[in-house]
Amino acid sequence: MTQKVIQFIGTQRSGSNLLRLMLNQHQGISAPHPPHILRTFMSLISQYGDLKVRKKRFTLVDDVCRWVECNPVEWSLVNFDRDEITDKITSLLDLFEFVYEQKCVLDQAEIWCCKSTFNIQYTSELEKVIQPFYIYLYRDGRDVATSFKKAYVGPKHIYQIAQKWYQEQMETTSFLSSLAAHRYVRISYEALIQDPEKVLHLICERIGIQFDEIMLDYFNSKESLLTSKSGNMWANVAKPIISNNSQKFHQLLAPEEIKIFESISSESLLALGYELETPGDPIQWSEREIQLFDKKNQQLMDAIQKSASPNERANRVGQKQLLESISQRQL
């Protein structure tokens, strides 16, 4: 069966889980929670050696399958046949595609969707093998910052958050400029929460399927409930849309934080249609100041990890242990 593919790009904390769950409600779309296969294994691939050797290829297949099986949000129904997969793939990209295709078949869908926005880093590889339809989901970066500051994942200091957000918007817009218009759609988080039906109609039209009202009832789905119970940062996905969940940075960021964020990312904010609060010349930081930002960022990240709920930590133990075993292995 030939399957269509949707790939999200942009930055985390921009409503990608919300949109994923809406799409997953459509009977024609399989949109499981992403285990971030490419982000995790691209940096490890050299450890596996020559993948033409079946034993080495099998080891990669087994590790990736175990990684998916340990995902914080369970992939229901999957039962990977390691030997079958090993015989059918030749590369990590093949493996990534095959795993999602299997889930799509089990879900009896025709389209599979990968929510991992990190894959903006691997578009050259995706274009060679898969050539997906891209959804660029973006959100006011200052609101993204307020979300990152309290989330289990990602940077925590405003300087590092701004750097990440700006770089990923620049990478995304640069990449999209190389694609034909029919290969992607741009969606703002603010539009999604204010008029979800209109946005979903647009996406469905662009990927060639009929809109289904059940997509708006995502918060009552089994997948939403499972996701919400897997981590505090996903708690809202089992609730109706919070239509006024924007511009929160006015209350949640200090004036100095807003100034730092805008100094770094004003170009992208303006290009995406967001107004600046503190226009003016960019701030120039010394190397010493940046080192202090880095140190503070690490301290904040450590504090978030320590304060995480037992359930949130437990859901990530399997993947953590697997990475440790891979790093210690002599392949």
Rounded CA separation 201/205 (Å)? 6
CB atoms within 10 A of CB 277: 15
Residue 1: pLDDT band with limits 50, 70, 90: very low
User: pLDDT tens for residues 91-145?
Assistant: 999 999 999 999 999 999 999 999 999 999 999 999 999 999 999 999 999 999 9
CATH code for the domain in which residue 71 is found: 3.40.50.300
Q: How many CA atoms lie within 13 A of 287 on its CB side?
A: 0
Give the mean pLDDT of 174-187: 97
Instruction: Give the range among 8-17, 22-31, 51-60, 236-245 with minimum mean pLDDT.
Output: 236-245
> pTM of the entire structure?
0.95
Q: Is the pLDDT of residue 318 over 70?
A: yes
Burial 48-64 (b: 16+ CB within 10 A, else e): beebeeeebbbbbbebb
Length of the chain: 331
β partners of residue 112: 5, 30
Beta strand 29-30 pairing with 133-138: unpaired
Number of domains in the chain: 1
Residue 313: pLDDT band with limits 50, 70, 90: confident
Beta strand 4-10 pairing with 133-138: parallel
Residue 248: pLDDT band with limits 50, 70, 90: very high
Residues near 3 by Cβ (< 8 Å), separated by ≥ 6?
101, 104, 109, 110, 111, 112
Are 104 and 30 in contact, with CB atoms under 8 Å apart?
yes
In the chain, the percentage of residues whose pLDDT exceeds 70 is 99
Residue range of the domain that includes 124: 4-328
Q: Given 3-state DSSP classes, what are the helix, strand and coil percentages for the chain, each rounded to the nearest 5? A: 60, 5, 30
Cα 165 from chain centroid?
13
